[in-house]
Structure 1
Amino acid sequence: MPRRHDPERRDRIIDACVEVIAEHGVAGTSHRRVAAAADVPLGSMTYHFTGMDELLLAAFERFAVGASAKFSRRVDPATTPEEAVQAVARLITHDVFENQRDLVLTHELYTIAAREPAFRAVTHPWMRRSRRTLERHFDPTTARLLDAFIEGMTIHRALDTEPHDDADVLTALRRLTHAPTPPTPPPSTI
């Protein structure tokens, strides 16, 4: 039987790996599961990747680059400090962990990067891209603080069982950025 040429196979494997991690976590990700999800022969795994770490790195890199692109699309259009603060608030309250899949992938990446220094090759550039996006609107120190705040606040919001008040996020962002709070209109006398 002639060998079938499949130039997208490697990409399909990476995409499938992202989904397997989201469903089963890193610990539950295996060559067999990824091959089944990608609908490729199991032998394709070792043809395209030297081992599971290389595959996991490729999958997490794909996820991180996509997350950075969403981040930039939200923040880049801001033209004033207030618009930038509003954009960052929207990131925290709606965009960053807009679904359970992204929450799981982010936490799985953080966990493996905490244990395995090789995975910091994914987290460090991701943080750097986030800070560069924020630096278009804020000084470098504020951008670093905001990046840490975004991560911490989104984790708290994702895992907290108490209801969240989006106004608290705006208050904190204005404090971090020294942005003035927009005036509250006076109560109506009618």
Structure 2
Amino acid sequence: MDTSGAGGAVAGRVRRNDPGRRDRIIDACLDVIAQVGVAGASHRRIAAAAGVPLGSMTYHFAGMDELLREAFGRHARGVAGLFERRMGVARDFEGAKGAVVDIITADVAGDRRDLVISYELCALAARDPAFRDITDAWAAASRRALERHFDPLTARMLDALIEGLVLHRALGTAPPDPAAVVAAVERITAPGARVGQAVHAAGRGRDRTP
């Protein structure tokens, strides 16, 4: 008995009911952006990278702008989460400074794929205001994480340092010099060290409150 038709129908149902397909498309979109940039990211190329039919693109997303927003939003939340985890485990002011160094040297500037995606997002937001809410939310989340240990002005300066070194890494051929990163963090935090330490101490006090 020929069961090829039944098998094809079952396979079709599995594909249609694939609950992870939308997520795979978003991840594939980020992979394609890392490879060829936003300008080269087409529905066809992303569908091929995700291993899904071309029709799935318009089924799950109204258009390329919606897909780009979902993809870049996921990327931004992921990077902001790195900040939160690093700053969350820092136990004191010195540990917080070390966490900033690790964010720069190991996390943000340590992955070429993420570097390129971050650069593409910033370039897109610079051209198209419709994407600036993503970069604004990303910056706000990063600064909130930094403000767990540093006063707001110092947190903003550290955030600018991180963004600047990320840009340098994306455009350059060599990773940032860890010793230079340590020196830069020390210079930014030294004038307001007492303020930052006070923020940390206040946090410890709140933690001890019954």
Normalising by structure 2, what TM-score? 0.80
Computed over aligned residues only, the root mean square deviation of the Cα atoms, in angstroms, reads: 1.8
Asked whether the 8 Å contact 1:93–1:154 carries over to 2, the reply is: no
Q: What pairs with 1:12-161 in structure 2 (closer than 5 Å)?
A: 12-161=24-173
Structure 1 position 159, deviation (Å): 3.2
* Bigger fraction of residues in helix: 2
- The structure having more radius of gyration, on CA atoms, is 2
Structure 1 unpaired stretches of 5+:
181-190
**What is the one-letter code of the residue matched to 2:53?**
P
Structure 1 position 161, deviation (Å): 4.8
Per the alignment, do residues 24 and 158 of structure 1 end up closer, same or farther by CA in structure 2, a change over 3 Å counting? Answer: closer
Structure 2 unpaired stretches of 5+:
1-8, 195-210
Determine the C-alpha separation between the residues in 2 that align with 1:98 and 1:162. 11
Asked whether the 8 Å contact 2:116–2:170 carries over to 1, the reply is: no
What's 1:169 paired with?
181
Determine the C-alpha separation between the residues in 2 that align with 1:159 and 1:124. 23
Corresponding residue SS for 2:62 = coil
Asked whether the 8 Å contact 1:20–1:34 carries over to 2, the reply is: yes
Determine the C-alpha separation between the residues in 2 that align with 1:131 and 1:163. 24
Normalising by structure 1, what TM-score? 0.88
Sequence identity, in percent? 60
Structure 1 position 163, deviation (Å): 7.2
